[in-house]
Structure 1
Amino acid sequence: MFKTVAVPLALMGVFSFAHADEGQWQPYQLPQLKSELKRIGINMPAEKLADLNKHPMSAMVSLGGCSAAFVSSTGLVVTNHHCAYGAIQRNSTAEKNYIANGFLARGMAEELPAGPDARMYITDKVDNVTEQVMKGINAGMSGKARNEHVENRIKQLIAECEQDKAYRCSVPSFHRGLEYYRIRQLMIRDVRLAYAPSDKIGNFGGEVDNFEWPRHTGDYAFLRAYVGKDGRPADPSSENVPYQSKDFLVVSAQGLKNGDPILLAGYPGRTSRYKLPAEIRFARDVSFPAKVAESRADLAVIAAATQGNAGAGVRYASVVKGINNGLKKTEGLLDGFARKDIAAIKDAQDAEFRLWFAQHGSNKNLLKELDAVIAADMAMSDEEFAWNVASTSELLKSARTLYRLAVESEKPDAERHTGYQQRDMTIIAGKLNRLEQSYLPNVDQARFTAALQRYNQLPVKTHPQGLDVLLPTPESVAGLYQHSTLGETAKRLAWMSKDRKAFEQSDDAFIRLAVKLHDAGMSLENRRKELDGNLERVIPQYMQVVIEWKKSQGKPVYPDANSTLRVTYGTVAPYSPRDGISKGPFTTVEGIVEKHTGKSPFNMQDSLLTAVKEKRYGVFKDSVLQTVPVNFLSTADTTGGNSGSAVLNKNGELVGLNFDSTYESITKDWYFDTAITRAIHVDIRYMLWVMKEVDHADNLLKEMTVKYPAK
């Protein structure tokens, strides 16, 4: 059963003052938000929402980077099309292109494997373990010793939690290291693709419309969880059976209207709401511009290397989509920083805080220590960025992972570095296996060659110490690929069982390079541990007083997103991005017809255009709009990782799927502006309409429990 977690003293009394729709709340915090939920019209009891073993929280799923939800008792899960894109791409070929044509399994026997590294995670227990993690820490510890102590305590807590191998456990920090919670999740290892519309629907508008509004994208897909005949998670097998999900969401086709309340539950990735002004300026002026330039350059290399080769384009479709999504978001952040001086806003807040701290703070050296560790963190981030540029090769990454595994395997399992324990073997194998569908030697070679050229152009002060003399020259890269067999899946996987000596005696070019780079990589990692330990000592003290300061102002206090289950709330609402312009909150299928050009990314399939022309809307026609809504806006607080998150109406029924934010909202990861922050959702009526009128996915419609409007 879900364990009730005590609310930290620093947070008591804060929640009744929460305002607007800002906040990515831990489920246990929701009872303190009763008045807010009642204010917007949510009917579900807050205590029920806080219980992970009760509806609707027990239906929520993490895909390890995206969110999803069960919609049937036989393990059927709905998420975004772009979250299932890897599974779609993995099963596609130039001749059988499920990206372009869509895929529908008419029965469970036709469902396709989502991939060796595909997982579903169902959170069922959360414990506050701050005291256990911090036990034994003393003021005399070095940063590295402190960091390793915390890591070892976390590994012990995880090992205790994973006595039952059906579960995957983690101990993330909250409030930048002030608190630690142990999260227990059932881990489903056999995931299959059940249905995905054509990308003409699932990615209509492509990168042109990404983060834009108005939007007309049917960003949805269905996966299914499978387990062994005993009902427990098992490796993929034809003998497995559909997972019997103890809870699932009722799908409501009754729709929403402007001003209606919504709840949104999912696994948001990372936000930076508590960053200092200096950190914002570093992101704005240094790290984000460098990231944008690097992404653009890498995309250009991939495009040139795959040009004219349809098969290569399919293989790298998922890679390109991922880079493009990150690029558009980072560009949006930079535009947002240019449009609104968030650093200046933070300056004012920071000055106010420091004035308050001078009167109320006890550790007068805290802010000086804080500024010093933040400066060191930014400097090391430059080196880590340079290292990542120099490592832009899938074969090199694989070789380094394999050699590190051999080195760590010499230690007792409990002493291995996180990510290289026995519990991680299937994940490592899955990543190595995945290259079979997303790697071509000529493309990888082109990416590595160009990346080394870019690395050589970075400021020398950002080059990690000792790395330059170890790297190959751009001119010698071709020889590495000619003298390596790591591009072959079976041979790549075989290295998982070899010892350190075998690596050090190998004549495989990439294995030899990985061995040569190992000490330099460990030096950088150990420096990072020292710095992280110092951050873990100083930042929590800072966050404690920030919370007290915010509490004194009656402002909401919630931890930054960290890929754990969160709930946010809001209302369906339009917005004004600039003077004289109002947008939203709904788009309709007529807008698809208007955007359709017959050319990608605005090329809609004929069957859908015909259904709109003939107005075959049926029960999915909105009574106000007099047509089928496609996407809608809400004021919910979301970020990356919330893709696929269930959007619920006031009764807890599924009415939409989160998939994006407006371009003006991207800076919400750093600063939540209530006036313009809007999340973009697929209206579930559009999904149901496409399933019925266009793709004829009648088997899945029958499997789900759909509540239709009264006739």
Structure 2
Amino acid sequence: NLYKYKKYTDVRLVFAPEFEAAFFGGDPDNFTYPRYDLDITFFRVYENDKPAHLDHYLHWSRTGVSENDLIFVSGHPGSTGRLRTMAQLEYLRDVEYPSRLETYKRRINLLKNFSSQSEENARIAKEDLFSYENSQKAITGYLSGLQDKEIMARKQAEEDKLRADYKTKNSAAPDPWQEIANAMKVQRDMFLPLTYVERLRGFNSDLARIARNLVRVTEEKTKPNEKRLREYRDSNLPSLEQDLFSTAPIYKSLETVTLADSLAQMQDALGRDNPVVQKVLGGKTADDAAKDLIGNTKLDNVALRKQLYQGGAAAVQASNDPLIVAMRAIDPDARTVRKQFDDQVDSVERRDGAAIAKARFAESGFTQPPDATFTLRLSYGAVKGYTENGKHISYFTTVRGTFEHATEHGNKDPYELPESWMKMKSKLNLSTPLNYLSTADIIGGNSGSPTVNKAGEVVGIIFDGNIQSLVWNFVYDDRMGRAIHVGSRGIQEALRNIYGAHALAQELLGTKASTVTKMKDGKKRNP
């Protein structure tokens, strides 16, 4: 398929609530329900220094949703594995996911220890800690689905049926399921070097990743476009350059700690005598090597990164920056395992996966959609609660419930509401719905997706799913799995009666973008 996108590069923040309101309940409530989060942000896109003019846009619902309403979700779901073979699922269950969870646990403990040392440490580690805790819960949910005997039996039966049908119609052709199973055996054997060296689990550092990209991209650009590694082809260079030249802060104190821990983990996994371990550590401890690499690198200087990139392979080869030197040293080892993966695993999965997809389409037609790939998808479902352990779970929560939830947990982090909420409690309509559930088919990547009703009006924004929805990565089951939305009525209530953003609230309901509001300092500004 061919997709066309319009890119806006002038994007300005209009409104964002406090972290404590957007992520109320923190990691303990993540992937759970009931929820009480105002997890929203509004931006405005500009063209020629003016708000972009859009002929087509979604109108805002004044009434929100009711139980059993039909709703639609448009978004970019990241990836699913519903069409994977049993061999691929078993690889994830037995190798990939357990290894990831072990690493997440290790890194979460590391970051919590780092954060406990000072308020500044806690601040700079906060985003990474949230990311790992979020991933830990997600992968735990995925793994639980693959460990569910009923789900796996269902997947096995589906594969057996399709495989038998394929063999009947293609008796002379190679068995694509067996080809993929063979590839999975290869990937199991190469898992450690692939993960720690090529995919850089042993180098948990933004600066190390930047060094790898500089070493690789400057070499790859000397080759014809079609001969390059996929991530360094011309179509991917704009996003790579944006990443390389980002001015986002990099904290060396955190980088030193994370790199040291990952180097130690790699040493444990690959062994002290492994060539890559020896090249990087050079007889030093992981702690000392990390201090040397991060302490002496200058790659936190964006101007230097641009200079190396523009200087090409010659400049990178001549560089004596310790991280560049380290990445140059291990690149032959990394490329060897990458070539084996590309030739014996990835290419097999692509080729034989396509053959299986064609067979599945011949059997099922459009009744089974392709796996998610971050491209635009339209999902649908019903606004609906569910029953868990004999208890009915309501399809919506209220603003009142938010305050009650905070009180139940002693108003302590992560259940401490921001001051803005506490000050305005008496002004709020506490019965206003805040979050609600639906059976819309979503997955990671759908966060921020608009939810619309039959009239095409915005009735909410996707921000999460409950723990039972995580198995949707492999099989959709709406008995208990639910998507979680921030409701349009709750958003309006918060904008008006907590944050005083009346102009923005009115604009969402149809007032033109040129509407301005008078601020306390007497100046007029766009909302």
TM-score greater than 0.5 by the shorter chain: yes
Q: RMSD value over aligned CA atoms? A: 2.5
Q: Does 1:218 align with 2:38?
A: yes
Q: Does 1:182 align with 2:2?
A: yes
Contact 2:215-2:313 within 8 A present in 1 as well = yes
* SS of 1:186 mapped into structure 2: coil
Paired with 2:108 and 2:11, the residues of 1 have a C-alpha distance of 30
Amino acid at match of 2:240: I
Paired with 2:237 and 2:171, the residues of 1 have a C-alpha distance of 47
1:397 paired residue among 201, 209, 213: 209
Match of 2:356 in 1: 542
Amino acid at match of 2:442: T
Contact 1:361-1:545 within 8 A present in 2 as well = no
Match of 1:489 in 2: 302
* SS of 1:331 mapped into structure 2: helix
Match of 1:272 in 2: 81
Q: Does 1:359 align with 2:168?
A: yes
Match of 2:518 in 1: none
Residue 274 and residue 513 in structure 1: after superposition, are their counterparts in 2 closer, same or farther (change >3 A)?
same
Q: Does 1:629 align with 2:433?
A: yes
Paired with 1:308 and 1:706, the residues of 2 have a C-alpha distance of 49
- Map 1:610-649 to 2 at 5 A: 611-614=424-427, 616-617=428-429, 627-649=431-453
Contact 2:87-2:180 within 8 A present in 1 as well = no
Residue 419 and residue 280 in structure 1: after superposition, are their counterparts in 2 closer, same or farther (change >3 A)?
closer
Q: Deviations over 1:315-349 (max 9, x none)?
A: 33333222222121112223344455422322222
Paired with 2:273 and 2:209, the residues of 1 have a C-alpha distance of 17
Residue 408 and residue 298 in structure 1: after superposition, are their counterparts in 2 closer, same or farther (change >3 A)?
same
Match of 2:369 in 1: 558
Paired with 1:688 and 1:315, the residues of 2 have a C-alpha distance of 32
Amino acid at match of 2:416: N
1:256 paired residue among 51, 60, 65: 65
Match of 1:525 in 2: 338
Contact 1:384-1:464 within 8 A present in 2 as well = no
Q: Deviations over 1:46-84 (max 9, x none)?
A: xxxxxxxxxxxxxxxxxxxxxxxxxxxxxxxxxxxxxxx
Amino acid at match of 1:216: Y
* SS of 2:84 mapped into structure 1: coil
Paired with 1:248 and 1:381, the residues of 2 have a C-alpha distance of 47
Paired with 1:422 and 1:545, the residues of 2 have a C-alpha distance of 33
Contact 2:104-2:136 within 8 A present in 1 as well = yes
Paired with 2:6 and 2:273, the residues of 1 have a C-alpha distance of 40
Paired with 1:486 and 1:360, the residues of 2 have a C-alpha distance of 57
- Runs of at least 5 residues in structure 2 that lack an aligned partner in the other structure: 512-527
Residue 464 and residue 702 in structure 1: after superposition, are their counterparts in 2 closer, same or farther (change >3 A)?
farther
Match of 1:198 in 2: 18
Whichever structure has more helix as a proportion of its residues is 2
Residue 515 and residue 676 in structure 1: after superposition, are their counterparts in 2 closer, same or farther (change >3 A)?
same
Q: TM-score, normalised by structure 2?
A: 0.88
Amino acid at match of 1:686: G
- Map 1:416-565 to 2 at 5 A: 416-421=228-233, 424-434=236-246, 436-437=248-249, 439-458=250-269, 466-472=275-281, 473=284, 474=286, 475-531=288-344, 532-551=346-365, 556-565=367-376
2:119 paired residue among 285, 310, 319: 310
Shifted more, 400-409 versus 375-384: the winner is: 375-384
Amino acid at match of 1:539: G
Paired with 1:191 and 1:665, the residues of 2 have a C-alpha distance of 32
Paired with 1:464 and 1:282, the residues of 2 have a C-alpha distance of 27
Match of 2:131 in 1: 322
1:255, distance to aligned residue in structure 2 (A) = 1.5
Paired with 1:276 and 1:465, the residues of 2 have a C-alpha distance of 33
Q: Deviations over 1:231-278 (max 9, x none)?
A: xxxxxxxxx332223322101021211111001110000000011222
Amino acid at match of 2:434: V
1:528, distance to aligned residue in structure 2 (A) = 2.4
1:657, distance to aligned residue in structure 2 (A) = 0.5
Q: Deviations over 1:336-389 (max 9, x none)?
A: 444554223222222333343443444453143343234334544554222232
Paired with 1:688 and 1:706, the residues of 2 have a C-alpha distance of 13
Contact 1:202-1:218 within 8 A present in 2 as well = yes
2:220 paired residue among 408, 433, 445: 408
Q: Does 1:585 align with 2:395?
A: yes
Q: TM-score, normalised by structure 1?
A: 0.66
* SS of 1:187 mapped into structure 2: coil
Q: Does 1:242 align with 2:62?
A: no
Q: Does 1:576 align with 2:387?
A: yes
Amino acid at match of 1:590: R
Match of 1:373 in 2: 183
1:595 paired residue among 380, 387, 405: 405
Amino acid at match of 2:359: V
- Map 1:674-689 to 2 at 5 A: 674-689=478-493
Match of 2:107 in 1: 298
* SS of 2:461 mapped into structure 1: strand
Amino acid at match of 1:395: L
Q: Deviations over 1:68-101 (max 9, x none)?
A: xxxxxxxxxxxxxxxxxxxxxxxxxxxxxxxxxx
Amino acid at match of 2:401: G
Paired with 2:146 and 2:352, the residues of 1 have a C-alpha distance of 27
Paired with 1:482 and 1:382, the residues of 2 have a C-alpha distance of 28
* SS of 1:269 mapped into structure 2: coil
1:453, distance to aligned residue in structure 2 (A) = 1.1
Contact 1:312-1:440 within 8 A present in 2 as well = no
Amino acid at match of 1:208: P
Q: Deviations over 1:517-544 (max 9, x none)?
A: 2222222222222132232222211222
1:565, distance to aligned residue in structure 2 (A) = 0.4
Contact 1:281-1:343 within 8 A present in 2 as well = no
Q: Does 1:281 align with 2:90?
A: yes
- Give me the identity figure in percent: 25
Residue 311 and residue 417 in structure 1: after superposition, are their counterparts in 2 closer, same or farther (change >3 A)?
same
- Runs of at least 5 residues in structure 1 that lack an aligned partner in the other structure: 1-180, 230-239, 622-626
